[in-house]
């Protein structure tokens, strides 16, 4: 098994409270890791640190053969990793233009971007929504559009924060199917969720975050290939 990224000595204190206190976490390449934990346990904070969106007090990143402090790794993480909040932001525009936005920023021509977007919409079974306003989408449709927009940019790691929260059963199944297809394409996926029954069949590795510290989690599909080493417990 090859790890995509290793993070060591992740520490973050906010308002005099230790929010993250993780000695080591290794995220396998081309597989799915599921992190569970109660609200307020630090899941979203950890995801923002890994994706380069939130500066920790300390962290060392080993990625693509380089070992870097978080500050120097930040632009690389922001380029290669995509973080999706449970309520993904979509522009007040059509679904097609929302998905094409990243391609335009990357310098793609309108013609090439349009072709790629239509192929992506077909992949996600969302072609019928191409010209619909993002404002008119349901929560499940927004999440699937956001996943499609992320996929088209070819991220090396996709970080998903509660990707099936507040969805009805059909929407959860459709979103879960897209996640399974992304994984089968070789995208590394890191998910945090408390709705494990809807997505645990996708995960290869299971962790639990409690009071800012990670431990291996119990699951019928649990493996021990994710390395997690924690310092001695502290009162936080």
pLDDT score for 65: 92
For the cut 60, the answer to whether the pLDDT of residue 228 exceeds it is no
Mean pLDDT value across residues 84-99: 93
13 Cα distance to chain centroid: 23
Q: How many helices (H) and strands (E) does the chain have?
A: 7, 11
CATH code, 3-90+155-229: 3.40.50.300
pLDDT score for 219: 53
- Report the C-alpha gap between 176 and 201 in whole angstroms: 9
Give bridge partners of residue 62 from the DSSP assignment.
6, 67
Q: Which of 6, 152, 143 is nearest to 67 (CA)?
A: 6
CA distances in angstroms from 39 to 18, 22, 172, 197, 212, listed in the order given:
16, 18, 20, 17, 11
Share of the chain above pLDDT 70, in %: 92
Per-residue pLDDT band for 217 (boundaries 50, 70, 90) equals confident
The answer to whether 236 and 21 are in contact (CB under 8 A) is yes
Mean pLDDT value across residues 171-198: 91
What one-character DSSP code corresponds to residue 135?
G
Give bridge partners of residue 34 from the DSSP assignment.
191, 206
What digits encode the pLDDT tens for the residues 93-132? 999 999 999 899 889 999 999 999 999 999 999 999 999 9
Q: Between 220 and 90, whose confidence is greater?
A: 90
What digits encode the pLDDT tens for the residues 2-47? 999 999 999 999 999 999 999 999 999 999 999 998 888 999 999 9
Q: How much is the CA Rg of the chain, to the nearest whole Å?
A: 18
Least confident of 69-73, 120-124, 161-165: 161-165
pLDDT score for 179: 95
Q: Between 219 and 130, whose confidence is greater?
A: 130
Mean pLDDT value across residues 163-173: 90
- Report the C-alpha gap between 213 and 215 in whole angstroms: 7
- Report the C-alpha gap between 207 and 24 in whole angstroms: 12
Q: Are strands 17-28 and 3-14 parallel, antiparallel or unpaired?
A: antiparallel
Mean pLDDT value across residues 72-100: 94
pLDDT score for 1: 78
Q: Are strands 81-84 and 3-14 parallel, antiparallel or unpaired?
A: unpaired
Q: Where are the domains of the chain?
A: 3-90+155-229, 91-136
For the cut 80, the answer to whether the pLDDT of residue 187 exceeds it is yes
- Report the C-alpha gap between 60 and 7 in whole angstroms: 6
CA distances in angstroms from 139 to 168, 169, 181, 204, 219, listed in the order given:
9, 12, 20, 26, 28
Question: What is this structure's pTM?
Answer: 0.88
Give bridge partners of residue 63 from the DSSP assignment.
5, 66
């Amino acid at each position: 098994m090859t790890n995509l990224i290793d993070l060591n000595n992740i520490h973050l204190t906010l308002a005099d409270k230790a929010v993250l206190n993780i000695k080591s976490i290794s995220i396998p390449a081309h597989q799915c890791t599921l992190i569970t934990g109660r609200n307020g346990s630090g899941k979203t904070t950890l995801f923002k640190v890994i994706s380069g969106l939130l500066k920790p007090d300390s962290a060392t990143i080993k990625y693509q053969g380089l070992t870097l402090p978080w500050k120097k790794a930040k632009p690389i993480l922001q380029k290669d990793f995509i973080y999706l909040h449970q309520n993904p932001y979509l522009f007040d525009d059509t679904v097609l233009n929302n998905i094409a936005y990243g391609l335009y920023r990357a310098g793609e021509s309108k013609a090439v971007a349009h072709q790629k977007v239509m192929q992506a919409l077909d992949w996600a079974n969302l072609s019928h929504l191409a010209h619909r306003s993002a404002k008119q989408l349901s929560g499940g449709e927004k999440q699937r559009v956001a996943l499609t927009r992320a996929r088209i940019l070819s991220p090396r790691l996709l970080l998903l924060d509660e990707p099936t929260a507040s969805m009805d059963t059909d929407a959860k199944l459709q979103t879960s199917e897209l996640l399974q297809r992304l994984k089968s394409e070789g995208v590394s996926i890191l998910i945090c969720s408390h709705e494990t029954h809807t997505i645990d069949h996708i995960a290869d590795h299971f962790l639990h975050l409690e009071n800012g510290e990670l431990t291996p989690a119990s699951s019928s599909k649990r493996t021990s290939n994710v390395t997690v080493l924690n310092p001695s417990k502290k009162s936080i």
